[in-house]
């Protein structure tokens, strides 16, 4: 993934730094990671990813998000989460109990998937939908009423 990460960065006009490659690699296979998750996966000591500090991690995440290599979602009551799945206007299911987040494909196949009843002059290009409930594991663990 690191070689591929370098190519992705260059295509977006970003320098292919060890820190940026490390973050992209750490997100591979770990969608919906928090910055703390990434910090644990990458490490922030002087030897990790060319010396990635906590502030450096946040700077890299901001750069990658602005370049649309990473998508940031912010479910209510949860820290920001980052994923590599970008540009397809997918949505999310969030478990109220355990915090599990699952992707849900756009229902109509093209952004923005939904249109507001009144656009108030906005040119809408994306809709971000979050459904809340209990995942199947939490439903099984929930006491019966």
Instruction: State the CB neighbour count (10 A cutoff) for residue 129.
Output: 14
What pLDDT does 43 receive?
80
Number of domains in the chain: 2
pLDDT by residue (tens digit) across 85-115?
998 889 999 999 999 999 999 877 677 777 7
Picking from 73, 105, 130, the residue at the C-terminal end of a domain is 73
Q: Are residues 111 and 64 in the same domain?
A: no
pLDDT-derived band at 27, boundaries 50, 70, 90: very high
Structural domain of 29:
2-73
Q: Is residue 99 part of a domain?
A: yes
Query: CATH no. for residue 108?
Result: 3.30.1490.190
Q: Are residues 68 and 6 in the same domain?
A: yes
Instruction: State the CB neighbour count (10 A cutoff) for residue 73.
Output: 17
For the chain, give the longest Cα–Cα distance: 57
Alpha-carbon gap, residue 93 to 109, rounded angstroms: 17
Query: CATH no. for residue 49?
Result: 1.10.10
Which among 57, 54, 101, 55 is positioned nearest to 76, based on CA atoms?
101
């Amino acid at each position: 993934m690191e070689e591929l990460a370098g190519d992705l960065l260059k295509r977006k006009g970003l320098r292919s730094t060890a820190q940026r490659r490390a973050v992209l690699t750490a997100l591979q296979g770990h969608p919906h990671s928090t910055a703390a998750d990434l910090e644990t996966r990458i490490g922030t000591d002087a030897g990790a990813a060319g010396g990635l500090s906590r502030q450096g991690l946040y700077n890299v995440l901001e750069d990658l998000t602005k370049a649309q290599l990473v998508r940031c979602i912010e479910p209510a009551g949860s820290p920001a989460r980052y994923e590599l799945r970008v540009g397809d206007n997918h949505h999310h299911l969030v478990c109220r109990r355990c915090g599990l987040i699952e992707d849900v494909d756009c229902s109509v196949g093209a952004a923005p998937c939904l249109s507001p009843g009144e656009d108030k002059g906005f040119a809408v290009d994306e809709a971000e939908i979050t459904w809340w409930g209990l995942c199947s594991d939490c439903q099984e663990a929930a006491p019966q009423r």
